[in-house]
Every structure is written in structure tokens, then in C-alpha cells.
């Protein structure tokens, strides 16, 4: 059975608290009365999570995610956020985003530890992997993705992978407007699933939802999810525009799986 499509909006640091509430309210209103067979998640900044959770209360169509978490459950980590501080509001959490890996120096081991603590507390991690333009040009995409994916799958079981999402985000496509050919991206995503199958078995690997991310918009989302093995999209800049994000959700919803 095919996985249910998933559309995730990563709001990064693009919205003020007031704007976050306005966008969340607009998305909620535009999706009201529409039957959706797709999971929709938005990830506001930490400071807006409680208020956005209240705004979306009793709404089953839009779920909340966080943009990051610390791998320790508590302690002297000034400026960080623990999983127990997220659980009252979020059911999903993005980890390993390229901006964190590059700008903060997060390692594969730290990302793996974050995945562990999230799953331990019942949150679903959305783990980002991807290669830079230089790595792509040097033909290192396969080795980079293999290393990142292997680090994640090493600690997984057939049960835990049902609560795991991998987002393939070629770093050179994030925020640039440049995207890979959908078929090319799907091949890289197939590699991720093959690595999972080698570590966990084919049945377990099929349970993992694998998303494409990187300059996703309403005009190209359907092209990516139409490819075999692509279970949805992780949306950046377009997700803070309520109408654009809803159009992406609708575009994904219309895709009929034939595989």
C-alpha cells in the first residue's frame, strides 16, 4: 500500500509572531470544508508554536511541527529547546536541515541522536539530507547521501521507521529557484529507500515517507510527487504564502498513484 502524501511547510525565521498567526489562520480557513487525503504540517518558529497551536485547535487538517530540537532531554543548554518543551504543541520535527548542518556544524551523529529522542517521545522526525553544488559537480551525491542515510537507519527498527520521514533537499536547490529534474531527484530518493532496505528489510523501507525539498512551489510540486517513490514535499519560502501553500497541497492531493 502506498504511503499517504505529506506536505510540510518550513517557515524558518521568515514570519513575525503576528504574521505567523495570520498565515496559520488563512491556511486553516482555505482548507476548511475540503476533503484532503494528504497530511499537512506547518513548522513555525519556536516562539509562535503555542499560539499557532491554539489557532489550529480542533483542526484535523493542519498539524504542527517544530524546526529543530536538542538531542539532550534537558540540562544546561542555553538557547536550545528540548523535546519535552515541544511535545505539548508539535507532533513532527525537522532535523538535520542543511542550514543547521552548514551554519551550526551539526554532525550526522548529532542528527541521529535527535531522531532517537524525538521517536522516544512520540514525535515524528523529518530528517533532511542532501548534497551541495560542489559535491554534485564532483560526482559525490551518492556517497554523501549514503553516508547521511546510513547514519539515520543504523538505529532504526521495523517499528520505528513507520514514524520516520526523510526529506531529500539538494542544498544547491534550496532558496535558489533551481531544481533538479524530477526523475533525477526520484532516483536519489530511490537510493535512500534502497539503503533503508539493506539495513532494515524491504517491507520496513517501504513504510518510510521520503519527500522532495528545494524551491518547491505550486507549479512544480505535482511534477515531483508524480514520480515513483516520492511521498510528498518539504516547502520553504512558498509555505509562508498561505494561498501558494494551499495550492501546493491541492496539487499534491490531485495526484493519483499508479505505482
Question: What is the predicted pLDDT for the residue at 155?
Answer: 85
Window from 49-53, 155-159, 172-176, 203-207 with minimum mean pLDDT:
155-159
Alpha-helical runs (H) found in 32-181: 49-55, 83-86, 98-103, 108-120, 133-137, 141-153
How is residue 7 written as a grid cell? 506536505
Question: What is the predicted pLDDT for the residue at 146?
Answer: 98
**Nearest of 199, 202, 255, 253 to residue 228 by alpha carbon:** 255
Average pLDDT over residues 82-104: 97
Window from 37-41, 131-135, 160-164, 238-242 with minimum mean pLDDT:
160-164
Question: Would you say residue 47 has pLDDT above 70?
Answer: yes
Confidence of residue 157 (pLDDT cuts 50, 70, 90): confident
Query: Which residues are identified as catalytic?
Result: 97, 169
CA 200/CA 195 separation, integer angstroms: 9
pTM above 0.85, yes or no: yes
Look at domain 5-253 and name its CATH class.
Answer: alpha beta
Radius of gyration of the chain (CA): 17
What is the rounded average pLDDT for all residues in the chain? 95
Question: Would you say residue 14 has pLDDT above 90?
Answer: yes
Amino acid at each position: 500500500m502506498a504511503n499517504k502524501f505529506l506536505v510540510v511547510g518550513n517557515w524558518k525565521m521568515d514570519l513575525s509572531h503576528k504574521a505567523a498567526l495570520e498565515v496559520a489562520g488563512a491556511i486553516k480557513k482555505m482548507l476548511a470544508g475540503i476533503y484532503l487525503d494528504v497530511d499537512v504540517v506547518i513548522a513555525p518558529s519556536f516562539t509562535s508554536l503555542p499560539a499557532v497551536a491554539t489557532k489550529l485547535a480542533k483542526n484535523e487538517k493542519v498539524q504542527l511541527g517544530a524546526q529543530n530540537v536538542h538531542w539532550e532531554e534537558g540540562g544546561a543548554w542555553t538557547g536550545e529547546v528540548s523535546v519535552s518543551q515541544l511535545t505539548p504543541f508539535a507532533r513532527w520535527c525537522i532535523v538535520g536541515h542543511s542550514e543547521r548542518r552548514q551554519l551550526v556544524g551539526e554532525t550526522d551523529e548529532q542528527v541521529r541522536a535527535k531522531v532517537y529522542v524525538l521517536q522516544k517521545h512520540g514525535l515524528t522526525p523529518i530528517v533532511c539530507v542532501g548534497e551541495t553544488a560542489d559535491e554534485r559537480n564532483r560526482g559525490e551525491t551518492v556517497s554523501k547521501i549514503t553516508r547521511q542515510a546510513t547514519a539515520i537507519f543504523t538505529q532504526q527498527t521495523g517499528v520505528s521507521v513507520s514514524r520516520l520521514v526523510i526529506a531529500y533537499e539538494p542544498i544547491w536547490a534550496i532558496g535558489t529557484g533551481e531544481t533538479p529534474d524530477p526523475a533525477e531527484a526520484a532516483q536519489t530518493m530511490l537510493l535512500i529507500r534502497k539503503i533503508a532496505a539493506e539495513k532494515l528489510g524491504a517491507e520496513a523501507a517501504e513504510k518510510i515517507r521520503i519527500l522532495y525539498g528545494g524551491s518547491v512551489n505550486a507549479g512544480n510540486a505535482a511534477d515531483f510527487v508524480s514520480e515513483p517513490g516520492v511521498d510528498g514535499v518539504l516547502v520553504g519560502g512558498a509555505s509562508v504564502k498561505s494561498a501558494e501553500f494551499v495550492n501546493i497541497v491541492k496539487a499534491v492531493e490531485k495526484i493519483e498513484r499508479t505505482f
